[in-house]
Structures are given as C-alpha cells and as structure tokens.
Amino acid sequence: MAGKGTYLEMLKVLQGRSKYFLPLLLILGGSNVVWNAGLLMLINKVLNRETLPYFGGQSWPLFIGLLVLSYWVSRLFQRYLIRISNELAFEYEMKLFNSLRSSSYENIMTLGTEKIYALMEDTQVVSEFPQHFIQLVNSAIIVAIGIIYLFTISVPAAALVLGVMLLLAALYFYKNIRIVQYLNETRSLSDSYHVSIRDLLNGFKEVKMSSRRNDNLYFKHLNKNRLVAKTLNYKILQGWLNNDLLGRYSWFLIIGVILYLLPSMFGMQTENITTFVVTLLFLSGPIGELIAFIPHYSRVAMAIGRLKVFDETIRHTHTSIMMKMHDDGGGAELAGSFSDIRLDNILYYHQQEDNNVFTVKLDHLTIRKGELVFVTGGNGSGKTTFINILAGLVQPREGDVSYNGIPVTEDLSQHYRNKFAVIFGDNHLFTENYDDAKISRENPQLMDLIEQMKLTDIIVINEERNKLETELSKAQRKRLAMIYALLEQKEILILDEWASDQDSHFKSYFYLQYLGRLKAMGKTIIAVTHDDLFFDCADRVIRFDYGRILYDRKVDRVALT
C-alpha cells in the first residue's frame, strides 16, 4: 500500500482547492475534541452516579449543548466538503481530458481506449477522498480522546489495552497488503476484459461467421479472463471478510482482556472496569470507520498512482517535443496560401501487434498545389502510415516535413494539421457539429453539397441543434463526411479509401466528375485508392510497397468531364 506521500499529496490538493480547508479542519477537530471528550466523561459520570461541577445533578443541558455544537459544526463542514469534492471531481476530469486532447495520436493509440476509460473511473475514486478523509480525522480524534481518557484512569491497564489494539491493527495492515496486490492484478485483467468485449460487440458479424473465432474469443479470452478474475475476486472478498471478522472479534478479545485480565493483573475496581468497557464500546464505531478507510485509501493510492504515471507520460512526451522544437529553431508561421509540401529523408517505424517493426522510408516527395494524387499499394504497404505522416498525425523519427518551404517543427504541428481536411479510412462521423458549420437550409453552400452528394431526399437537417442527422448507410455516412470536410474550406483534402463503399454509379460520378470539380475549386487532393480503372483521372499515381515508394508516375490522363 502507498505510504504517507499520498496523504501529503491529497492534503496539498485540498488546500489548493480552498485556503480555508486546514483552518476549518482545525475548527472541526477542536469541536470534536470538546464534543467527544465531554460526552465520554458525561456518560461515565452519569453511569457512576457522579455529579459534575457547576451542573449538580442536572447534566442534561450540557449534553444538549454538546450535541447542538457538534451538529452545527459537522453540518457546516460537510456542506463545505460536498462543494470541494464536487470541484475536485470536475478538476481531475477536466485535467484528464485536457491531457488527452493535448496528447499525440501515437500516445493515445499506445494507451488504448480501455485504459483511458479506467483513468476516468480513477478520477471519480480520487474525488471521493475528502469525504473519507474527514471521517478518518473524526474517528482518529475520537479514538485518541478515548485512549487518553483510559490513561487518566490507569496507565498500566490502558497501556496493555493499547498494545493489544496496536498488535491487532498491525496484523490487519499486513493482511491488507496482499489484498492490494490482488486489486492491482484485477485492474490489469479488467483492461484486457474490456478489449475482448469491444471485439465481441464491434465485430459481432465477424464472430458469427466463424465457429473457431467465436469459440476462441469466448474460451481463450473472455472465459479465461473471467476465471482468473473470479479467483482473484474470491481471494479479495475472503481477505476483506477475514479482516472484517478480525476487526469485529478483536473487540470481544479486548473486552475479555478488560473483564478478566485487568482485575487480576492490576486490581482494578468494578467502576473502573465499567469505564473501560463503556469507553471501548464508545470507540468501536470510530475504529470501525478507521478500518473501513483502509480499503478506500488503497483504491485512492492506486488511482493516484495511475493518474501520475499517465501525467508523467504526457509530460515526458511534451518535454521531448519542446526540446525538438527548440533544436529545430521553430517559431515561424505557416501563413499564406498553400504552395507545396515537401518530405525529405523521412524515416518512421512502429511496432506491430505481432511485435515486428514496420518501417516507412521516404527519400524525397513533394505535393504541389492543385495536384490530384492517387496513393495505392497492397495491404500493409505503408499507405496509411504515409497519410498519417503527411497530415501531421505522427512525427517521423528522422527527416523533415516542410510546408511552403517552412520546416514543420512541433510548435507548428497543430497549425500544420489545421491546413488539412481529412476523411480517414476508419473515419468517425461525430454526432455533434463540433466545427460550428452553419447547418441551415439558408446556407447555399451546404444545400449545394447535399445535392452534389446525392443526399437531397435522404439527409435530415436539424437546424435547432445545428447538425445533420447521421442515421445513414455506410456509403451515405462517407458522403456526409465529405460534406463536413468541404464545409471546412481547407485547401488540402486527404481521402483514405473514400470511394470503396460507394456503388458503381456513384463511384464513376466521383472519379470522372466530382474530383474535377474539386480541382476547379482549387483543392489539392491526395486520395488513397485501389480503383485502378480510374487511375487516369489523377495527375500522379504513387504506389507503396513494404514501406517504400515503388514508383511515383505522372499520368497522361484524359480530361475529367
């Protein structure tokens, strides 16, 4: 289990959220000292039929006064805690989202969506810490007061009781260490479990098409994962049960020590024995809360650890980027109309799922304004990686990318990416209009694009929400993606296998007419395609093979009509 560093870190966070946190914590602690010490003394005095100074036999006003004090201070502080816990949850979530949106594409692909969803759950766990922490403080104060009170009655007897309690607490903490290890293992299992669920749901048609695939997904992944998780969960629940029983029956053991050992060892009188028993019963609830805090703290410590690892990964990447930016002497702006993009001595590599390293190497390549470039090649030839490099999604390990003769350093990377409208092969069509395009029948450009994409009688314009409805077929959704891309009014358009899902009639219209219309609008188009029947429509055809350009040929094409 994590050490005191987590406590200190969380206290700094809470103090940072509000400068009044520690002063209010002291006020709460002081009121709890008064309340619990007064209540404990009052109970024992009343049970032993002893009178209180200044109150005589009428101690109930003191009881009511202590009760009212404790109620109002606790209410005030709990309301305050609700506010800062809510703010803390918001702050951690927004910090996570901001880190994600600032992260590189490669980082997000390496992390995987499952881990990101798990990190979101971690932010919720951390945000609950203040409430549990205050319970810890309250319980610790009550227990401390109770122990001190026992020492005022009998030092040797209190020392013996305290020793037994500390011994049992040490045993509890020792057993909890193993539980935390099991929790970490279940977290790793949960990541792979969600991967398998995603494969089952997103690839359900493919799963149904193969008995072997269906059985392997179930037996070798889902079932195997859940069997291990079941075993670990059983051990975790057994551990918590054993610790819970240890905590519960420890009280009976301690009461047995008080009832049977203290009288014989220290000759304690009956009234003192009664005081010890009442005090221990009074402390049973707070100590139970202290014990209950341990599993929660374990979860918080693990959540904070994972969030810190993520934050450090993002910060390390950002630092490396800034160093590269400084070395490259970035700082110019990519202003002016597009002229050309040049890639020189590009080397990029990444590890594939089979652990082989795939490499893309480009010596020199230039894309010029107004060109219609087709990119082709077999599966795994490097087309998609090339598109990602060209669009600025991934940074080459070596070499330079320049825009209008200006090196695209990391400080210019987002400005560079803003120059492109891209429809990826696995393009995601957003449910909301995040680009703030004007979605209205009064927008002539929109209505013209809808007609060009042959969606006039199909698409639904939601003017109230400023969006186009996306409940369309796959081919129609790609046409809708084209509409959104052209509404961005970017000079460079990248299309990755855009026409692959279109019917033969629309595919012919796209290649033979629509691309010419886009060129006439001044667009520079880079299209990944396998439709070799239409290669004569391009200005150039670039073929990739094994991460290299096999050829880059100009086309003596017929005029597009």
What digits encode the pLDDT tens for the residues 288-338? 777 777 777 777 777 777 777 777 766 655 444 443 434 444 445 677 889
Range of the domain at 485: 340-554
Residue 545 within a domain: yes
Instruction: Find, among 128, 131, 138, 136, the residue nearest to 28 by Cα.
Output: 138
Within-domain flag for 350: yes
Q: Tell me which residue has tokens 């990444």.
A: 350
Give all strands (DSSP E) within 137-254, no chain letters: none
Q: How far lies 101's CA from each of 97, 196, 314, in Å?
A: 6, 26, 11
The answer as to whether 448 is a domain residue is yes
pLDDT at 15: 63
Q: Please give the residue that has the higher pLDDT: either 549 or 192.
A: 549
Report the mean per-residue pLDDT for the chain.
81
Q: What is the pLDDT of residues 458-489, one digit of tens each?
A: 988 888 888 888 788 889 999 999 999 999 99
Domain tally, the chain: 1
Quick check: is 379 in a domain? yes
Within a domain: 410: yes
The reported pLDDT for the residue numbered 327 is 42
Residue 54 placed within a domain: no
Residue 542 corresponds to which tokens in the numbers above?
């670039």
Window from 35-44, 64-73, 480-489, 546-555 with minimum mean pLDDT: 35-44
Whether 3 is covered by a domain: the verdict is no
Instruction: Tell me the C-alpha distance between 375 and 160, whole Å.
Output: 82
Q: Which of 21-25, 100-104, 316-320 has the highest mean pLDDT?
A: 100-104
For residue 123, being part of any structural domain is answered with: no
Q: What's the CATH code of the domain at 394? A: 3.40.50.300
Q: Tokens 């149904």 correspond to what residue?
A: 208
Structure tokens that stand for 281 in this block: 């019963």
3-class DSSP assignment, residue 500: helix
Between CA 561 and CA 541 the distance in angstroms is 20
pLDDT given at position 277? 84
Percent of the chain topping pLDDT 70: 85
Q: Where are the beta strands (DSSP E) in 188-264?
A: none
Per-residue pLDDT for 281 more than 90? Answer: no
pLDDT of residue 18: 64
What percent of the chain is predicted at pLDDT more than 90? 28
Select from 291, 34, 289 the least CA-distant residue to 139: 289
Q: What pLDDT does residue 51 have?
A: 67
Question: What phi and psi, each to the nearest 5 degrees, are found at residue 406?
Answer: -100, 125
Residue given tokens 């098409």 in the structure block:
209
What is residue 497's DSSP assignment?
S
Among 273, 257, 302, 310, residue whose Cα is nearest residue 103: 310
DSSP 112: -
